């Protein structure tokens, strides 16, 4: 019985944590709707989250798109379906791998950095200093990060999708003997608007969760350097889980029927 007792005992704590997170998210979103706004903070965060994430997102997309094309070719060859490489690659990249891997890479880079920065600001009393200087930390720190992540993630995922497809095309034409023009024509024929739209919606949702988890865990960090380290780990792990869970939910809603 003991495991069940332990699970039961942890339920109220878990629900309270969800409640705290929801309140944190609502507070941040409400601050976005009311002045004062800090546009310089928004632009800086867009640069940090978007522009500086491009290399890691781009490289991930190229390598994954290439590997995917190779695996589809090997698998498809077993039942004479090797010609499906362009179609399956574009669907796989745009619907799933582009947004999910892009989201996970940005989460690894950005959620951890946000949690570490806000956590350090918390333990060094910089957040208290903001308050004493009559600046709302939610407006100055949290809202700009959430807004920037939601706005730039779709652009990052667009780039990720394009480079992923290009990686597949590169490997297929250089190594697997596919005709370049035919590969691109097939890719264009099988790519549908729903694929791109769902991909961008996923990106925006992932951006929200990445910034929310980074800010939430950093903002509530405590206990010195160890506390900041724990906040960073929690931010990355929780944003990974939320990305994968929300990806499943959106995929089932959009493509499940």
Partner 1 sequence: MTTPRIELAGVAKRFGSRQVLAGVDLAVMPGESLVIIGGSGTGKSVTLKIILGLIAPDAGSIKVDGQEVVGLNGAALDAHRARFGMLFQGGALFDSLPVWRNVSFALGGSIAARRASAVANLALVGLGADVADLKPAELSGGMQKRVALARAIAARPPIIFFDEPTAGLDPITAAVINDLIRELTTDLKITAVTITHDMHSVRTVADRVAMLHGGTIIWQGPLASLDGCDNAYVRQFITGSAHGPIRMPGAQR
Residue 72 region by backbone torsions, left for phi larger than 0, else alpha for psi between -120 and 50, else beta = alpha
179 DSSP assignment:
-
Q: Does 125 bind partner 1 (CB under 8 A)?
A: yes
Tokens read off for 52: 């500086």
- Total binding residues toward partner 1, as defined by CB under 8 A: 13
Which 18-77 positions form the footprint of partner 1 (CB under 8 A)? none
**CA-based angle 57:59:64, to the nearest 5?**
95
As measured in angstroms, the least distance from the Cβ of 148 to partner 1 is 15
Between residues 10 and 124, which has the closer beta carbon with respect to partner 1? 124
Q: Does 193 bind partner 1 (CB under 8 A)?
A: no
Q: Which residues, at least 6 apart from 64, have a Cβ–Cβ distance to it below 8 Å?
A: 93, 97, 101, 164, 167
Question: By CB under 8 A, which span of 57-65, 116-124, 156-164, 208-216 interacts with partner 1?
Answer: 116-124
Q: Closest approach of Cβ 166 to partner 1, in Å?
A: 36
Smallest separation (angstroms) from partner 1 to the CB of 7: 25
- The closest alpha carbon to 199, from 146, 255, 239, belongs to 255
Give the contact letters, 132-151, x = binds to partner 1 (CB under 8 A), - = no.
xxxx----------------
Rounded Cα gap, residues 168 and 70, in angstroms: 8
Which residues lie near partner 1 (CB under 8 A)? 120-121, 124-126, 128-135
């Amino acid at each position: 019985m003991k495991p069940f007792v332990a699970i039961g005992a942890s339920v109220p704590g878990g629900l309270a944590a969800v409640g705290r997170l929801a309140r944190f998210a609502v507070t941040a979103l409400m601050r976005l709707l009311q002045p004062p706004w800090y546009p310089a903070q928004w632009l800086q965060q867009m640069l940090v989250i978007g522009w500086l994430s491009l290399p890691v997102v781009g490289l991930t997309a190229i390598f994954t798109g290439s590997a995917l094309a190779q695996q589809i070719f090997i698998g498809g060859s077993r039942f004479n379906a090797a010609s499906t490489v362009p179609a399956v690659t574009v669907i796989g990249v745009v619907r799933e791998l582009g947004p999910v891997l892009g989201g996970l890479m940005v989460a690894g880079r950005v959620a951890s950095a946000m949690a570490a920065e806000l956590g350090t600001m918390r333990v060094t009393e910089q957040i208290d200093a903001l308050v004493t200087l009559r600046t709302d930390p939610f407006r100055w720190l949290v809202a700009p990060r959430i807004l920037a992540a939601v706005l730039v993630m779709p652009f990052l995922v667009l780039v990720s999708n394009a480079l992923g497809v290009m990686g597949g095309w590169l490997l297929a034409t250089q190594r697997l003997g596919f005709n370049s023009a035919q590969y691109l024509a097939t890719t264009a024929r099988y790519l549908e608007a729903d694929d791109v739209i769902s991909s961008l919606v996923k990106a925006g949702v992932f951006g929200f969760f990445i910034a929310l988890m980074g800010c939430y865990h950093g903002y509530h960090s405590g206990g010195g350097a160890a506390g900041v380290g724990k906040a960073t780990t929690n931010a990355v792990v929780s944003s990974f889980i939320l990305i994968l869970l929300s990806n499943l939910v959106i995929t089932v809603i959009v493509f499940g029927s």
